Amino acid sequence: MRQKLVLASVIVILTTSVYMLMPAFAISWSEYTTRLTTHVGFDVLPSITVTSDGKIWAVWTRCVEYQDFNLYYKNSSDAGASWSDETALTTDPSADASPSICQVANGTVWVVWSSDRTGDWDLYYKTSFDGGLSWSNDTRLTDDLADDLSPSIFESQNGTVWVVWSSDRTGDWDLYYKTSFDGGLSWSNDTRLTDDPDFDKLPSITQTDDGNVWVVWSSDRFGDDDIFYNVYNGSSWSGDMRLPTSTDLDTDPSVLQTFDHRIWIFWQSRAPTATSATDDIYYKYSLDDGATWSESIQFTMDINDDWWTCTAQTGDLTMWVIWSSDRPDGTDWDVYCRTSIVGDVNEDGRVDIRDLVMIAMVCWSGEGDPGYDPDLDLNGDGWIDIRDLSIIGRNYGKTDS
């Protein structure tokens, strides 16, 4: 025991100053919540992404006096220590809402959203090749006479841009998607993904490191709102699968895979009958590609409502969660964010010697060994070793406040 403690101390001295970009899993969250917008009115429906230069981007819908909906964005180049000024992304006199943002492999930033500028709701997008210094014109993506709402965008490993959304073109709300193999020069036809007679809405899309495409959404097909997902393996879809949550009203999910291969789903939940109930954000994660899931974990518990969550992970391994809330007074909606604490393996709100010792005690154990614990294998490579100790060293001293 004494030798392991000495070893741990030596390793932390040697590795604290060494930067090793290894994937990590945080099981502890900062207690501090940052308010990203302070506009008097409604800043809602945010989306977040991290670009290759390390910038964190947030884009959202702003409503002024209940009638003027436009998109705004801001970004941070210093891990959230400071943020750029808010910039209007759209200025059309009609309503623009529900943006989704991503960066593709060639560095272009894409934003897709819904707009009613043609008399019904259609999808539009615009792009920036220079980090937001300039933007393309608004480009119409769908033109069905029904309403197309709540898009989600990402680029797959083979360079295909995917957009999934919810539409009422068949008389109830179903999910549709379309793809582009050439950076938006051409698009596939709209493809229907769900055909349940109940409402399927608010999708989120991502690709996992095994190449599978995940679409997660909410549906009321069992009498209350539940979270569902469908997985595309490159040739076929798995079929609709229900995420085990609760009898509460669960909606507006966001899906993310972190660098340690865990799949996370965040969503908002409300008790279906209590008149005093508020919406809070919950999450689950899966270690085995969705075969099993963790228990539902409550992420927010403010007395006001927390809605419309979105997640991303930065290169320093921190998970970022942003959402809209009418805290503190229940009248003004703003965008908020909260981050993970990388390396706090004992979940006491601090990265310190206790976390280091926990890993050192089982150092050099691998999958199948008696001492192996996947929660201590911070980089998810199947071994608990110096790489995991270096992650503790890099984040040593961080706290939840």
The CATH classification number of 2-22+350-395 equals 1.10.1330
Q: What is the pLDDT of residue 26?
A: 39
pLDDT in tens, 334-383: 999 999 987 788 877 788 898 888 888 888 898 888 888 887 887 778 88
Q: What is the pLDDT of residue 396?
A: 83
CA distance 224 to 164: 23
The confidence score (pLDDT) of residue 7 equals 44
Predicted local distance difference test score (pLDDT) of residue 109: 98
Reduced to 3 states (helix: H, G, I; strand: E, B; else coil), residue 9 is: helix
Q: What is the pLDDT of residue 400?
A: 65
Q: Which fold has domain 34-339?
A: Neuraminidase (2.120.10)
Region 153-167: what's the mean pLDDT?
Answer: 97
pLDDT surpasses 80 at 61: yes
User: How much helix, strand and coil, in percent to the nearest 5, is found in the chain?
Assistant: 10, 40, 50
Same fold flag, 2-22+350-395 and 34-339: no
Residue 20 near residue 33, CB atoms below 8 Å = no
Are 324 and 33 within 8 A, CB to CB? no
- Any idea how long the chain is? 401
Position 333 pLDDT exceeds 60:
yes
- Mapped to the 3 state alphabet, what secondary structure does 119-149 carry? CCCEEEEEEECCCCCCCCCCEECCCCCCCEE
Confidence band (pLDDT; 50, 70, 90) for 276?
Answer: low
Task: Give the phi and the psi of residue 152 in degrees, each rounded to 5.
Answer: -135, 135
Q: Quick one: pLDDT band at residue 27, thresholds 50, 70, 90?
A: low
Mean pLDDT of 322-335: 92
Cis check: omega of the bond before 197, within 30 degrees of 0: no
Burial 223-247 (b: 16+ CB within 10 A, else e): ebbbbbbbbbeeeeeeebeebebee
SS3 238: coil
The sheet with strand 148-155 has its strands ordered as 148-155, 161-167, 174-180, 191-192
How high is the pLDDT of residue 275?
63
Q: How far apart are CA 325 and CA 347, in angstroms?
A: 26
User: pLDDT tens digits, residue range 238-253?
Assistant: 999 999 877 889 999 9
Interval 91-111 mean pLDDT: 96
The helix (H) or strand (E) run that includes residue 52 is none
Cα–Cα distance, 351 to 390 (Å, whole number)? 12
Q: What is the pLDDT of residue 4?
A: 43
70 closest CA partner among 114, 132, 36: 114
Distance CA 228, CA 3 (A): 49
* pLDDT single digits (tens) 198-234: 999 999 999 999 999 999 999 999 888 999 999 999 9
173, 194, 203, 236, 361 from 167: Cα distances, Å: 5, 10, 11, 22, 54
Task: Quickly list DSSP for 196-210.
Answer: -SS-EEEEEEEE-TT
Q: What is the pLDDT of residues 64-85, one digit of tens each?
A: 766 789 999 999 999 899 999 9
pLDDT value, residue 401: 63
- Domain locations along the chain: 2-22+350-395, 34-339
- pLDDT for res 387: 85
Per-residue pLDDT tens over the stretch 379-401: 778 888 888 888 888 778 777 66
> The pTM is what?
0.86
Query: Looking at residue 233, what is its pLDDT?
Result: 96
H helix or E strand, kind and range, residue 4:
helix 2-15
One-letter amino acid at 225 equals D
Of the two residues 40 and 43, the one the predictor is more confident about is 43
Average pLDDT, the chain: 88
Secondary structure of 365-393 in HEC code, one letter for each residue: EECCCCCCCCCCCCCCCCEECHHHHHHHH
Tokens of 20: 């090793």
Contact between 165 and 150 (Cβ < 8 Å): yes
3-class SS of residue 10? helix
The answer to whether 205 and 164 have CB atoms below 8 angstroms apart is: yes
Using CA atoms in the order 33, 37, 38, 42, what is the torsion angle rounded to 10 degrees?
-110
Determine if residue 45 is left, alpha or beta; phi over 0 gives left, psi from -120 to 50 gives alpha, anything else beta: left
pLDDT score recorded for residue 22: 36
